[in-house]
Structure 1
C-alpha cells in the first residue's frame, strides 16, 4: 500500500476510495454547519428587529394612549381648579344647589325640579368640607370663614375635569385618527363654558360628565359588537345602564342621551332579528339582557336615589307642601296639628287631594273670568287661612247647626254615605258645582264657591264615600270605626248629589288669573280607584272634641311618595315659563346658543370682585356649528357615491359612519331641539351637553376631510386647529378664570354687540 498524505485532519489515500468518501462527507457537513450558522444569524437579526419594532410600538402606544391623555387630564384639572376660590361670594345658582345640599346636612325636606342624585353629591362635598348647614347660600352673599366653599367647588370641578379623558377615549373608540382624537379632547379641555360651570357648586358638570360616560359606554359597545355575550361586552352593557341611571338621576335632561342609547339598541336588535343563523332563544336572551341592563338597572338607580333622599330628609322643611298628608305628618317637626279623631258636623278642617297635584282645597274672593263668574276653587299647597272649610248639613236636609256647633246639643259624626255641605270659612260661600264646563281640562264641570250661609241651592250638596281606612300603629286607635270620617287616616270621595260627578284635582294649573294654582273640577269617574277623586282631612279643629295627642299616624307608602314627588317635579318644570311682565336679562333663546349670540353674567358685575361670563369658546362653538351644517352634505355625498356605485359601503363602513357622525348628530338634536320647542325659560347652560356632541360632529367632518389628504395639507390644517383652539382659549380665558378690575380693560373681548362682557 502507498503511504498516505496528510491533509488537514484526514489522511487521504488516492488509492483508498473509502477515505475519499469520508472526506467528501466531512466537507458537506462543514458547509451545512456554515449555512446553518448563517440562517441562525439571520433569524436572530429578524427577531431582534421585530423586538425592537415591538418595543417602539409599545412606547408609542404608551405615549399616545396613556401619557397623552394623562397630561391633558392634568391640564384640565389645573384649569378648573385655578383660582377656584378667588370669588368668595355665592355665584349664580350656587344659591339654589348649595342650599339644597345644606338641607341634607340639616335633614330638612325640600322640593326641587331636579332628581336628587346631583344634590346629594353636593351634600357629600359639603359634608367632606365640614359644613354644618347653617349658611343659607343667599345670592351674592359672601361665604363666612367657617364655610370651606373651596372644597365644595373642587369636588364639583372634578366632574368637569374628568370630562377630558372621557372625551379622549370616546373619540379613540369611535375610530378617529389620533390627531382628531387629541383635537376633540383639547377642545373639551379648553371649552370656556365647561371651565366656568365646573368652578362652582352646580349640577351642570355632573350632568355633562354622566352624559359623556353614557355615550362613551355606547361607543364601547359598538367596538364590541362582534363579541356580544362575552364577559367584556356584558361588563360594558352593565356600565351603560349604570351611567344612564346616574345621568337621569342628576337631571331629567339625561333622558335625551337615553333616547340615543335606545335607538342604538333597537338597531342592534333589529340586525340580530335579521340574522337567520341566530337561534330564537339566543335572540330573546339578547332582549332580556338589554332590558335588565338598560331599563331595569337605570330605573333601580333612579328609584334608590329617591329612597336615600327620603331617608335623609326626615324633618319638616320648605318642601312639605308638595307631599301628601301621611308623608308630612311623619316628618319630625310636622306643621300638621294633632286634632280630634272623629270629624263631625261643625268641624273646621283642611282637605288634601290624593291626585298628582296633592294640594289643599282652596278658595278666595277672586272670581272666574269666564263660565259662571263665581268664586274660584283651586288647589293650593301652602298653609293659608283660605284652605279652611267647615262641614255643614246639606241644603236638602233643612238642618242647621246651633251656635255651639251642634244639633240641639248633639254631636253628629260624618259617616259614609252622608250628605254634607262644605262652607268656606273666610268667604262664607259653599263648595258648588253645576253644568258649566271646566276652564282648563276638557269634559269636566266647573267647581265654584257660591252663595252664603243663607243663600244656596241643592247643588251645594255632596255625598261622602269612604274608600279606605288606614290603621294606626298605636293599638289604642287600631279599631277606629271605619264608617266614620277620621282625619289623616280616612280616604274619601265627594260625589255631587245632582250631577253625580266627583270632586277631583286634574293635575293641571289655571292661567295667571287663577294664580297658577291647581285646577279643581267635578269629573265623571268610573273607577273607585281613581286617585284624582280621593281626599283626606289634614288639619282638624273642633272645640267640642278633645285632640288626640297620643295618636300615631300610619306610615306613608314609598311608591305613592315617589310618584307624587316626580309629578310635583314635572309640574314645577312646566311652571318655569317666561314672565311676560318681567325682563329676564339672564335668559336666552335656543337659537342664540349655537350662534353664540348671547352670554350670561354669572355674578355681580361690580369691579371689586372677580367676574365670570358664561359663554362658549368662539372657536369651539362656531366651528362645531359650521360642522353641523356641513355634516348633512357629507352624508348626501356618501350616499350619492354609493348610489353611483363609486363607493362600496360595507357593513363595517356603514357602522363607522353611523357611530362617528350620525349618532353624534342625533345626540346633538336630542339635546338641542327640545329646548327649541319647549315653552319654559331657557339659559345658556342648557346648551352644554349639546355642544359636546357638536364637537364630535366636527371631529367626524374634519376626520373625513383630512384622513386621505397629503401630509403637506393635513398637518398644517391640524396645526392651525390646535393653535386656534389654544389661542382663543388664552384670549378669552378671563371670562372663565375671572375678570378683575375695570370692565373697560376687557373691551377687546366684545366681539359682538350683543355680548355684555365689557359694559
Structure 2
C-alpha cells in the first residue's frame, strides 16, 4: 500500500487529492521531514559553541562541587570570612583589610540559607554540623562562581580569535587546576574575585571586538564598555588585587586612545567622544560602584562591634551602642583641669596609669595607652612652681594652658606625676627611647623629670584660638620632655599580658617622627570655668569622611601584616610552584593548597616563551625581515599576568600562593595563545591529538593530588610518592 502511494504522480488529480490514503501519506512525509530537521538541529547544537559552553559549565560544576560537604569543619581562612558573615548578620561593625563586596555576598547567601550568625568560626577545625551552620550552601555559592570562570575562559579565547581546540585546552587547564579547585570549594574571597576578574576580561575583549576598525558609539559598543567598567568596580570591591585588573584594562585603553589621537582621519571632536566615553565607563563607573559597596557596608553595620578600636572617635560616635559617645565638654583647657589625653597617631586610646609597676627599668608605676573609658585615664594639669607666671586670663581667675607652656600631668587617682628618665622602656630598647612612668618624688619642687612642654602642632581652622592655646579636641599637640630632649610617644607594641595586661607601650622618644607623638584632649573638667563656658564635641562624619578614613586604615593595616607564617611564600616561588599552604588536617585527612604542576609549569613556560618570541619579533622588525608574531590578544594576556604578578614584589606584607591565582588565570590564557602559534601549521586532526595529550597530562597530575584537594584518605606511601619536589611540605605522617 505504501508503495502504491509513492507511485502517484507529482501532480495528482483532484479526485486523488481528496483520497484519504493520499492525505495520510502527506502527513507521514511531513513528520519524517520534521524529524530529519530536528535531528539535524540537535546534531548542529551538539557541535555548536553554546553546547561546548554548556558542557564545560556542567563538568566544571561537577569538579568543583564533588563532596563539597567535606570537611565538615572550619578550614583555613574560613575563620575570617565565615566570621565576617556572622558579623554582618549580627550588624556589629568590624574592620577588615579587604573591600566589602565578596564578604557581603557570602553573608547574603548565609542569611538566605538560614544562618543566624551565632557560630563564630573562631578557629580551624570547629565542627559545622553540630552547630547547624549551612556551610554547604555557602561553599556551593563560592564553588559555582569559581566554576563559571571556566566557560568564561573558553569564550575569552574564542572572542580573541583563537581556535576551538585552544579554547578547550585553556578551559580544561583551569577546570583541573588543583589550587583553584581547593580555593573555589571553601568560604573564601578568591573564587568571587576570580569570577569578576574573568568577567572583566571577557567583557573587555567583547568591547575590543566592537571597537575594531574605529566603528564605535553604537548600542553594543556602549554596552560592553559599560559592562567592563561595572565589572572592574565589582572586582576592586572584592579585593584590592582588583586594582591590578583595572591596570590590565587601563594600559591598553591608554594605548588605544593614543592610536586614535594619531589617526588624522578622526576629528578632534570624535576623539573627545572616545576619551569621555572611556573616562565615564572605565573611571567614573568603577569608582561609583566601589563607593556604592561601602554605602551598603555601612548600612549593614550600624552598630558598635569589634572593629571600633581601629576607627577615630568621630567614626565611633556614628555607631549605635558605642561607648565612645560623649557629652559636650568645655573647650578651654586651664591649669587645674581634669582631662583625658588621647593618642592620635595609633588610635590606641587614652594616656593611662594604674597601680602596677614595671618589672624592668625604674620599677615605677606603669604608663600605657588604654582603649576604653576608665577613671584611671584622668590627669590633672598643674603648673610647675618654677614655671613663668602670667596674669589670669580666664573666668574665675583661672589661667589657660598656652602653646609653649611648661606643665605637669598628675594622675588623678594615684596623685603620681608623669615623668621620664634615662631608664630603658620594657619593649623599645633602642637608646633613643626613654621609659615613661608615674612617680612621686619627695622633692617635687626640683623634679624636672616631671616637666613637659606643650607644642601645639595642628588646630581646627575654624577655631583660631586653638592654634595659640590648648583647647579640647581642636588642638593637636606634642609633649616635649624638659630635660631628655624627647617627646611623649606610643607605638602598636603591647606589654606582656601577665604584668602589663596587654596594654600599649608609651615611651619618650628622641628624634621621633611627628605622627606618633600627636595627642589631643578629649574630655575636660574644671570647677571654675562657669556655666556659660564654650562647649565642644566631635563632629559626626558624613559618608565620604567615613569612606576615606576606613580605606586609609585598611591600607595601613594591610601594609602592617608583616608577621611570618609557616606557609607564606614570596612571588619568585609562585610560577614554579615551590610550595603550597596547609589548610586543614584531621583524622588522617589533609587539605593542602597545591596547584596542578602541569598547569603551573606549562603556563610559566608560555610566559617565558612569549617573552622570547616578542624579543625575536622586535629584532626581526628592526632588520625589516618579517613580523614573527604580533598577536594583540597575547599582548593583553601578558599585560594581565605582569599587572597581577610583579606588584607583589613591592610588598613587604605576608604573602601566600593564593595571591598568584589571578596572574595564573592570565598565564593559562597566554598558554592557549602560544599553543595556537606553535600549532598554526598543523591540521585540525593533529591539533586535536595534541590537545588530547596535553589534557591527559593535566588530568593525570590532577588525579595525583585529589586527596589533598578534596580532603580524601591517602596512604603514606602514595603521599610520599606525590612529593615531586623537595619544597612541597604537605604532611605525609599524620
Alignment TM-score, normalising by the size of structure 1? 0.75
Whether the 8 Å contact between 2:225 and 2:281 is mirrored in structure 1 is yes
Aligned residue number for residue 278 of structure 2: 290
The Cα offsets for residues 220-249 of structure 1, whole Å up to 9 and x where unpaired, read as 222122332222111111111111111111
1:700 aligns to 2:688 (yes or no) = no
Is there any run of 5+ residues in structure 2 with no aligned partner, and where?
1-35, 422-427, 497-501
Of 291, 299, 302, which residue of structure 2 is paired with 1:314?
A: 302
Structure 1 equivalent of residue 142 of structure 2: 156
* Cα deviation 1:339-370 (Å, max 9, x = unaligned): 67326644554444566x5443658898999x
346-355 vs 535-544, which deviates more? 535-544
Task: Quote the Cα distance in structure 2 between the aligned partners of 1:135 and 1:411.
Answer: 59
Alpha carbons 2:707, 2:714 under 8 Å: kept: no
Residue in 2 that maps onto 1:118: 102
Task: From 558, 569, 572, give the equivalent of 2:543.
Answer: 558
Q: What is the DSSP-based 3-state SS (H/G/I as helix, E as strand, rest coil) of the residue aligned with 2:653? A: coil
SS in 2 for 1:570: helix
- Determine helix, strand or coil for the equivalent of 1:556: coil
Provide the rounded CA distance (Å) in 2 between the counterparts of 1:185 and 1:86: 25
What whole-Å deviation, never above 9, does each CA across 1:25-84 have from its counterpart, x for those lacking one? xxxxxxxxxxxxxxxxxxxxxxxxxxx99x989965773320111111111112212211
Q: 2:381·2:408 contact (CA, 8 Å) conserved in 1?
A: yes
1:639 equivalent in structure 2: 618
Match of 1:260 in 2: 248
Counterpart CA distance in 2 for 1:244 and 1:427 is 59
**CA 225–339 in structure 1, closer or farther in 2 if over 3 Å, else same:** closer
Q: Distance in 1 between matches of 2:407 and 2:84?
A: 42
Matches within 5 A, 1:400-411: none
Counterpart for residue 453 of structure 2: 461
Deviations 1:159-195 (A, max 9, x none): 1111112111111112111100111111111111111
Q: Deviations over 1:550-597 (max 9, x none)?
A: 999652232222222112111111211134xxxx32222323322122
Superposed CA offset, 1:431-490 (max 9, x none): 899xxxxxx9xxxx999858966322797132669944999xxxxxxxxx9999886xx4
Change (3 A) 1:381 1:249: farther
1:680 aligns with 2:653: yes
Q: Contact (CA 8 Å) 2:236, 2:290: kept in 1 or not?
A: yes
1:421 aligns with 2:395: no
Separation in 1, partners of 2:96, 2:488: 21
Distance 1:699 1:415, change over 3 A: same
Q: Is the 8 A contact 2:478 2:517 kept in 1?
A: no
In structure 1, C-alpha distance between the alignment counterparts of 2:119 and 2:397, rounded to whole Å: 51
Gaps of 5+ in 1: 1-51, 401-406, 434-439, 472-480
User: Which moved further from structure 2: 296-305 or 667-676?
Assistant: 667-676
2:48 aligned counterpart, secondary structure: helix
The reply to whether residue 603 of structure 1 matches residue 590 of structure 2 is no
State how far apart, in whole Å, the 1-side matches of 2:376 and 2:309 are. Answer: 13
Q: Secondary structure at the match of 1:754?
A: coil
Structure 1 residues 508, 672: CA separation in 2 closer, same or farther (over 3 Å shift)? Answer: farther
Q: Matches of 2:105 and 2:574 in 1, distance apart?
A: 28
User: Which residue matches 1:382?
Assistant: 371
CA distance, structure 1, for counterparts of residue 43 and residue 490 of structure 2: 63
Partners of 2:359 and 2:608 lie apart in 1 by 52
Superposed CA RMSD in Å reads: 4.7
Tell me if 1:66 matches 2:54.
no
* The structure with more radius of gyration: 1
Q: 2:264 & 2:714 partners in 1: Cα distance?
A: 71
Q: In the alignment, which residue of structure 1 is the partner of 2:172?
A: 186
Distance 1:391 1:561 in 2: 33
In structure 2, relative to structure 1, the CA distance for the partners of 1:79 and 1:521 (3 Å cut) is same
Matched, 1:658 2:644: no
Q: 1:91-133 CA distances to partner (integer Å, 9 max, x unpaired)?
A: 1100111111111111111111111111111111211121111
CA 1:396/1:559 → structure 2, altered by over 3 Å: closer, same or farther? Answer: farther
> Residue 407 of structure 2 aligns to a residue in which SS?
strand
Aligned equivalents of 2:715, 2:370: Cα separation in 1 = 47
Contact 1:446/1:522 (8 A) holds in 2:
yes
Give the drift of 1:615. Answer: 0.7
The answer to whether the Cα contact below 8 Å between 1:414 and 1:485 also exists between their aligned partners in 2 is yes
Structure 2 CA distance for partners of 1:551 and 1:635, relative to 1, 3 Å: closer
Tell me the distance in 2 between the aligned counterparts of 1:71 and 1:519.
65
Tell whether the 8 Å contact from 2:94 to 2:308 is kept in structure 1 after alignment: yes
The answer as to whether partners of 1:392 and 1:422 remain within 8 angstroms in 2 is yes
CA deviation profile, 1:506-539 (whole Å, cap 9, x unmatched): 99978999999899989999xxxx9999865445
Task: Show CA shifts across 1:292-347 (max 9, x none).
Answer: 21111111111121222122212111111111112212322212364673266445
Does residue 393 of the first structure (1) align with residue 372 of the second (2)? no
Find the aligned partners of 1:77 and 1:674 in 2 and give their Cα distance. 32
> The residue matched to 1:241 in structure 2 has which SS?
helix
For 1:32, the equivalent position in structure 2 comes to none
Partner of 1:740: 713
Cα deviations by residue, 1:655-705 (Å, 9 ceiling, x for unpaired): xx132x222122212222222342212112111111111111211211100
Task: For residue 741 of structure 1, report the CA deviation from its aligned partner.
Answer: 6.0
Work out the CA distance in 1 between the residues paired with 2:488 and 2:162.
55
Q: Give the stretch that moved more between structures: 411-420 or 143-152.
A: 411-420
Question: Offset of 1:754 from its aligned partner?
Answer: 2.8
- Matched residue, 1:14: none
**Residue 494 (structure 1) aligns with:** 477
- Supply the distance in 2 between the matched residues of 1:570 and 1:668 (Cα, whole angstroms): 23
Question: Matched residue of 1:602: which SS?
Answer: strand
- SS at 1:601's partner residue? strand
Partner of residue 326 from structure 1, selected from 297, 306, 314:
314
TM-score in terms of structure 2 length: 0.77
Taking the TM superposition and a 5 Å limit, the aligned residue runs for 1:240-251 are: 240-251=228-239
1:603 alignment partner, SS class: strand
Determine if contact 1:191/1:729 at 8 Å carries over to the other structure. yes
Name the SS of the counterpart of 2:552 in structure 1. Answer: helix
Aligned to 1:41: none
